[in-house]
Amino acid sequence: SLNRCRKSHYVLQAMKHTELQVKQVFQNLPKPGLGGGYCRGGFEPKMTKLEAALILGVSPTANKEKIRDAHGRIILLNQPDKGGSPYIAAKINEAKDLLEGQDKK
């Protein structure tokens, strides 16, 4: 019917718009390692500000707005309820908290 066709059109348009947003997120992701390239090894036993900055792709002295923006982009790509790693999500959240001065360890 005509209504079903219109609904399909709107769904396809919404999917295209979402696809463009996802592509933009990937293109705007910070480059790993602050200086480009990847860091060797795993996580440190206790997260440092430098490690937190590397995880989020920001400067260790970034303001809260930059930290929250970076956190939002990265956590969106690693949502545990959509197949992302709960461990990595915890590290991303720990990095945000540490850089915002909320680390209570």
List, in order of start, the domains of the chain with CATH numbers: 31-99 (1.10.287.110)
Average the pLDDT over 81-97 and give the result: 91
Q: Give just the sign of the alpha carbon dihedral 33, 45, 70, 84.
A: positive
**Does the structure show a pLDDT above 80 at 84?**
yes
**Alpha carbon 46 to its chain's center:** 21
Q: What is the DSSP letter of 31?
A: P
pLDDT at site 66? 95
Question: Regarding predicted confidence, which is higher, 98 or 39?
Answer: 98
**Does the structure show a pLDDT above 90 at 1?**
no
**Does the structure show a pLDDT above 90 at 8?**
no
d(CA 29, CA 20): 14
